Structure formats: C-alpha cells, structure tokens
Amino acid sequence: MINYIVAIDLGTSCIKGIIGTRSLTGAFTVIACETESSAGCIRRGVIYNVADTTQRVTALIRKLAGKAPGIQIKKVYVGVGGQSVRSIDHVVTKSLGADGEVKKETTEALYEECRTFKPEGLDVLSIASPAFYLNGNREVDPIGIPCSRIEARYKLIVCRPSLKQRIYTIAERARIEIPGIFVSPLALADVALSETDKELGCALLDFGAGTASLTIFKNKQLAGLCTIPLGSRLITKDLACLHVVETEAERLKKAYGDAADDKENDSPVQVNSLNGAAPRQVKLSEINEVVKARLQEITENVYARLKESEVADKLNAGMIITGGGALLKNFDAAVRERFGMTVRYASVNKALFEKTNVPLEPEYGVVAGLLLKGTVNCSSYTPPPVSPPPVIKPEPPVEVEEPVIQKPVTEKPKEEGGTEKPPVIRPPRKPLGNRLINKVIGFTNDLFDDGSNDDQRNETEKKNTNNTTKPQE
C-alpha cells in the first residue's frame, strides 16, 4: 500500500504545500509542489486572519489532491515559524553517587523530566538532542561512563500558545487532521545542511518576506534558533516612499535593488506613478540608497543574535543563506562583508529523495524537509469509477433458404387403384476384371485347342457358372 504524505508551510508571503509518497522501505517520491498567496492573512509568520487562511489552505489542499487522482487528503503536516519561535535553554541534572554509572535508563529519565517541563506562557514545539556533561566535562556518548553527577543541557523550541491554537482552529474548519506540527527552520536544515556542516559549525539564515530565521549548529547539535521580525517586505515598503504603489516598489526591488552597490549611479529608471499619472524617472542611486539602509538594519540584527551564541566564533562551515529576500542582488556579498565568514546559497539535497516529479528549488526547501518528517498516511484512496462494459447489440439473424429435399421417384401404377411395383433386385454382377480375363483366356484356348481338352473345359465352365449364380453371404 502506498502512503501519501502531505505537508504545508505557513509563510508570510505565501503558503507552500507538497505531496509525495513513502514506500515500505522509507524512500520518498515527490509528486508535486503548490503555492497559494497568504498576503493579508499571515503577518511575520503568524496567522492574522483565521477565516482567510482557512480558505487558502483549503484551496492549496485541493490543488495538491488534483495531482494524485483518486485520493482524498484527510491529514496534513504543518510547519511553523514566525516571530515568536525561538530556542530556550533548559538543564536537567541528576546525582548518581560516588560509584554511579550512566545507563540508558539514566538518559531516558532525564529526557522524561525535560518533556514534562512547561515554560510559563509558552508552548514547546520540539526538544533538540541535549549536550551531556559528566562531572563538568562534556561527553558525546555518556552511557557506560562512571560519574557522580550528570547534566543534560537541552534546547527547547518554543512559541506563543496562540500559534498552535489557530492552526488547530483552521484544521477543524477545513475538516482535516494534523498528525504533527514541526519547526520550519529545523525542517529546512534537514535538507539544506550536510552532516559535515553541522559538525564543523554553521549558521543557516532564511531571509523571508516577514521574518529572518537564524539556526546555528555545532558538533552536530542545535546551538541556537531565533527569529528576527524583520524581512524583505520592509524594503518594499521603504521603496514606496518614491511615490509608487507597493507592487511597483516590489518590481523595483527585484529588478534594480543592489545590496552592495556603493557607487553613485545616476542612471535613470522609469517608474509608474500613482493615480495613473504619466511614468516618470528616478535615479538608480536613490533606489539602492533605500535598499541598503534597510538591509543594513536587518543584517545588524542578525549579527547581534549570532554573537549571542557561544559558538559564534567556531562556525568553520560559514553561513548558508536562502529565502526570497536572499535573492536580492549581491546579498551574499553584503553578508560576507559584515559577518566575516564564508557565505553560500542553500540547495535542496535531492539525494534524500528517490524520485522527484518536480524540480526542488530552494524555495521549496522547508516543505521538502517537512515531507521527510512525515510518517502517517495522509490520504484515503478511492478507486476511480469503473465504466460498465460496452453493450454489444446482437446482429439480426441472416435468413438462409432451406434446401429443397427431393423425394425419391416411385413408379406410378399403370392403372388407377393399382399397387406400386416392387423394386427389382438384381443379382450382383461379376467384377469386370474377372469377366474380361475369362473371355481372353477362353478366346486363346479356342485358337490353340485341338479338341483334347473339351471335357476339362466344360467342367471348368460349369464351376464358374455355379460360383457366379451363388448369392453372396
């Protein structure tokens, strides 16, 4: 049986969805990715208008179901981010005594104690793998090591309770179930970062329309996660000061915005004015002055959050950037200059998927990561209706003339009232060959007969006559 996995990510500019299959061996196949605009109903990754979001989620699910005819989507995994999503530290300690030794039951008890912890005013979305310290010394695998005191340092991913509540409200209205809610930045890290990146230390920056999420790894463990409530849409709104509508400002940002242009460029750029007025021209330097001013504010906030991490100076794999805002021209050069580390653009690791029917661009990295986390079948299969077999009309029977059977001709009586003559039974005739041979022999004997064999010949003829007239048995 094929398990269909469906996942959506609630973004500020759009809601992205993905549908794929998971085989019995665990291999994933991507069937389709779809997008639905979320403008006006989601702000900074937080659901603002529940009714509009419900309609758009329903429309997105309908699109995904159309890519796999015969199925009905009943469940959907959801990825969340938003300005309230962040990591907090939580430490659990246990004393083992002078002759203590760390066992598997010890680490399980530590995790259970952490799981029951409820931070005030927050919901826990996920618990990252802890870092263990035995008698103050860090150990990657503590099981089997003697110590008197063990300390487990956890990273809890938390959010405001309203975030999950609104998601479940949408699910109820859309008549779907939610088998799991995952953290979108962590799902992105699963497909955009290698194990080497996480071991050496790296920072993953997802620069979106409403927020910028920063996820830090070191020694294959999560070292920190934060969300900066600043996104590329602020640059668009700033460009509106050039007396253009927001759609025109977005076009100017994508077409002419440059994050690292320090030259005074007076090249004219034609813009469409408000209220249908005639197009006018602005200098390219004016556009980039606005772009760089807002971008500098955003990068400074990201830099400050990065420096709060204990491993900020140990990120040997550098920074990996992605998101719609990162498509701004020379954005990577601006980040490299400010952070002083290697910078590269993220890509989806297609080796994690057995087959992809659509190209997995970086913009679908989050939903691709959510797909890998899915384990529950999200659909019910309804086989397509079977058309009845065609009705074959019987051909009309072909009229065949009956053969005329001629009756045997019998002799009529010579006189009226007489009886029919019985059929004449003739004796069987002697075979033609024997008669001819006898005639030839007889003719030859007559030619050379001297009369001495008359008696014998008469006796022979008598026998032949008797044999001929004797009826056959």
pLDDT, the chain, mean: 85
Asked whether residue 468 carries a pLDDT value surpassing 70, the answer given is no
pLDDT at 469: 46
Predicted confidence at residue 277, as pLDDT, reads 73
Q: What is the pLDDT of residues 149-197, one digit of tens each?
A: 999 999 999 999 999 999 999 999 999 999 999 999 999 999 999 999 9
Quick one: pLDDT at residue 382? Answer: 63
Query: Are 201 and 301 in the same domain?
Result: yes
Q: Of 199-203, 278-282, 306-310, 346-350, which gets the smallest average pLDDT?
A: 278-282
Q: Say if 324 falls within a structural domain.
A: yes
User: In the prediction, which pLDDT does 434 show?
Assistant: 55
Report which of residues 449 and 402 the model is more confident about: 402
Asked whether residue 74 falls in the same domain as residue 176, the answer is yes
Q: What is the pLDDT of residue 473?
A: 39
pLDDT of residue 278 exceeding 60 = yes
- The answer, yes or no, to whether residue 399 has pLDDT greater than 60, is yes
pLDDT for res 422: 59
pLDDT the model gives residue 425: 60
* Calpha distance 179→30 (Å, rounded): 19
Q: Would you say residue 141 lies in a domain? A: yes
Q: Averaged over 398-409, what is the pLDDT?
A: 61
Does residue 441 fall inside a structural domain?
no
Residue 267 structural domain: 194-345
Residue 42 belongs to a domain: yes
Using pLDDT thresholds of 50, 70 and 90, give the confidence band for residue 147: very high
- At which of 345, 369, 404 does a domain end? 345
User: Is residue 141 located within the same domain as residue 215?
Assistant: no
Mean pLDDT of 72-100: 93
Q: What is the pLDDT of residue 250?
A: 93
| Same domain, yes or no: 18 and 54 | yes
- Domains in the chain, number: 3
76 and 189 housed in the same domain: yes
Q: What is the pLDDT of residues 301-319, one digit of tens each?
A: 999 999 999 999 999 999 9
Query: For the whole model, what pTM was predicted?
Result: 0.78
Claim to verify: residue 283 and residue 299 sit in the same structural domain = yes
Given a cut of 90, is residue 388 above it in pLDDT?
no
Average pLDDT over residues 225-249: 92
**Chain segment 262-274, per-residue pLDDT in tens:** 677 788 888 887 7
Q: Averaged over 427-436, what is the pLDDT?
A: 55
Whole-number percent of the chain with pLDDT over 90: 63
More confident residue, 218 or 413: 218
pLDDT value of position 177: 95
Query: What does DSSP say about strands 131-134 and 3-10: parallel, antiparallel, or unpaired?
Result: unpaired
Question: Are both 211 and 299 inside the same structural domain?
Answer: yes
User: What percentage of residues in the chain have a pLDDT greater than 70?
Assistant: 81
* Confidence check: pLDDT of 127 > 60: yes
Q: 423 pLDDT exceeds 70?
A: no
> What is the domain-level CATH number for residue 126?
3.30.1490.110
In a domain, residue 70? The reply is yes
pLDDT digits (tens, 9 = 90+) for 57-71: 999 999 999 998 888
Residues 235 and 329 occupy one common structural domain: yes
Q: Is residue 258 scored above 80 in pLDDT?
A: yes
Task: Answer whether residue 119 shows pLDDT above 50.
Answer: yes
Any idea what the CATH number is for the domain that residue 337 is in?
A: 3.30.420.40
pLDDT at residue 406 in the model: 60
* 400 part of a folded domain: no
Residues 181 and 43 in one domain: yes
Asked if residue 327 belongs to a domain, the reply is yes
Q: Who contacts 288 (Cβ-Cβ below 8 Å, separation ≥6)?
A: 256, 257, 258, 261, 265
Kindly report, residue by residue over 330-359, the tens digit of the pLDDT.
Answer: 999 999 999 999 999 999 999 999 888 888
Determine the pLDDT at residue 105.
94
Asked if 338 and 303 touch (Cβ cutoff 8 Å), the reply is yes
